[in-house]
Amino acid sequence: MEVALPPPRPLRADARHNREALLSAARQAFLDGDTDAHVKDIARSAGVAIGTLYRHFETREALIEEVYRKEVDDLCDAPGVLLNQHPPEEALRRFLLLLVDHTAVGKGMSSVLESIMATDSPVFDDARTRMAGALSLLLEAGSAAGTVRDDVTGPTLLRALGGICGMRATEGWLAEARQIATLLYDGLRNGTPPAILSYE
């Protein structure tokens, strides 16, 4: 007979603050292109001791994976919020921009993510499944409103967006990524004037 383990204790407020500060510092380092950022530098930027970092993350790879997982969590929480605030086609437009932002973080993390990809971590499979689901939610809402075509699925659109993810991070790549997102957005519109995909 299996004995149910008690749920993990929630972090104290100060520990939760330190953990969030570490994730934020690591994310910023990757966005700044510092893919070789040492854990000591990340801890210093977060304003905590190196021992505090290792209490939350056993390895550098564990920290990197959690940064990426949090990016995916924030991204996949967005469709519901956007649909509550905007018409479906506008929610889709804004979500495509968030995906471009997510890609920018991924570009900064690309070399350090390779170590995670070489393991059995489910983080990438989980991310793809959840992103496709988020896109499906937005596409279905737009289709129901008659403002987005109804013959494209979330997984198909995610594959189309793979062209953005596969772009080399050269000078000007981000502007080009937004232009590609514009083409995808205009192609998904149904019976409405084409809109310019501005960046906010």
3-state secondary structure 128-187: HHHHHHHHHHHHHHHHHHCCECCCCCHHHHHHHHHHHHCCCCCCCHHHHHHHHHHHHHHH
Asked if residue 99 and residue 79 are part of one domain, the reply reads yes
Q: According to the model, what pLDDT value does residue 1 have?
A: 45
User: What is the reported pLDDT for 34?
Assistant: 65
Domain of 32, CATH number, reads 1.10.10.60
Burial of 98 (0-12, 13-18, 19+ CB in 10 A): middle
State whether 50 and 101 are in the same domain.
no
Per-residue confidence (pLDDT) for residue 192, from 0 to 100: 53
Q: Which residues constitute the domain of residue 171?
A: 61-188
Q: Which residues contact 7 (CB under 8 A, 6 or more apart)?
A: none
Asked if residue 90 and residue 171 are part of one domain, the reply reads: yes
Number of helices (H), then strands (E), belonging to the chain: the values are 8, 0
Structure tokens at 23: 């994730």
pTM: 0.73
| Structure confidence at residue 120 (pLDDT) | 64
pLDDT of residue 175: 85
Structural domains counted in the chain: 2
Task: Give the angle 140-146-149 at the CA atoms, nearest 5°.
Answer: 65
Residues 95 and 67: their CA atoms lie apart, in Å, by 20
Note whether 101 and 179 are same-domain residues: yes
Domain closes at, from 28, 43, 58 = 58
Q: Which pLDDT score, from 0 to 100, does residue 112 have?
A: 56
**Among 176, 173, 186, 166, residue whose Cα is nearest residue 93:** 186
Per-residue tokens: 179? 């232009």
In the chain (200 residues long), the average pLDDT of successive 10-residue segments reads 51 82 86 72 89 88 85 91 95 91 71 58 80 94 93 91 73 84 88 52
Considering the domain architecture, whether residues 22 and 93 belong to the same structural domain is answered as no
In a domain, 199, yes or no: no
